Amino acid sequence: MVKYEKEIRFIFYASSIFICYFMFGILQEKITRGKYGGETFTCALSLVLIQCLVNFTFAQILMVSWKHEKDTTRTIYYFSSALTYLLAMVCSVMALQWVNYPTQVVGKAAKPIPVMILGVLLGRKKYPLRKYLFVFLIVLGIILFMYKDQPEKSVGNSQGIGIGEVLLLLSLTMDGLTGAVQERIKSESSPTAYSMMLNTNWWSAIISASGVLLTGEIFKFVTFVNHHPEIIIYLIVFALMGALGQLFIFFMVAEFGPLPCSVVTTTRKFFTVLASIILFGNVLSQRQWLGALLVFNGLFLDIFYSREKASPAKSAINK
């Protein structure tokens, strides 16, 4: 049991991320696409601010409850991580104005690639060649699996596609920068997951609060909640699921690094869609079965290789 303790923790963190963000996604859909007396909730920046504030509060409670070492991470790193994290979310949401959701999912499936590239360029991280191959298999499998869901009618619609693709590219770039900054934080100061969560969300809340105030969205949000108070319970549970999910994400980043975390969060949607297909008895096409096979092979090979090479990799880093 002790021998596989690290693998067990990885599986526990990954499973917790899957469950929390599955509920998170359902509630996000309910909040943003639900009808409230004929109205829809459009205060996206306020939603992000609520999430950041709850995450910060949750992390603050954890910091008080457990002993922890002093965090020596430079403030500029946390500010940069928070800024790129928020920009990635904003660009991804804005892209939906020009591209459909399946296109966004396909684009965001490539997230591990910029995380690896910018992790090497900015985070001074080194990956073996086989690691690149395994991540490429996972990304290719997700693209093959999800691309089937894109409506054929949307293929001929070129209006604004260029802008949407640029926004997705910017979102991926911001994801990569976030991973690179987190890799630098992990290598230089190795803060605890609680500390990373606390400081990242503190700066994220400041930045998003500034945006809400400067755009005047705060008044729109207050008016909407006053007219439809039933949304409050959805916002609370949504924020709590997000806080728990992010806690496990920071656990994974602090212990395993941003790339494994990126792989887990990227494949989360894949497994959710796969589970729904199995439960509802839908038939997979040959392309989707090939995609599923590539994803499983990439994941199993990566887990097996990482466990086999754990000691040499650690020695290489120490050198």
**Distance in Å from the first CA to the final CA of the chain:** 30
Tens digits of per-residue pLDDT, 59-96? 888 777 766 677 888 899 999 999 998 888 778 767 76
pTM: predicted TM-score of the whole model, two decimal places: 0.66
Where residue 261 falls among pLDDT bands split at 50, 70, 90?
A: confident
Tens digits of residue pLDDT in 294-315: 877 776 677 566 655 543 333 3
pLDDT per residue as tens digits for the range 158-216: 444 477 778 888 888 888 888 788 878 878 888 877 788 888 889 999 999 999 999 99
pLDDT tens-digit readout, 24-47: 777 776 787 678 888 888 787 888
Q: What percent of the chain has pLDDT over 90?
A: 13
Asked whether the predicted pLDDT for residue 284 surpasses 70, the reply is: no
φ/ψ of 36, rounded to 5, equals: -125, 95
Give residue 276's pLDDT: 56
Is 14 exposed, middle or buried, given 0-12, 13-18 or 19+ CB atoms closer than 10 A? buried
Q: Encoding tokens for residue 246?
A: 């992010």
272-278, Cβ contacts within 8 angstroms, sequence gap of 24 or more: 272/18, 272/22, 272/25, 273/145, 273/146, 273/149, 274/145
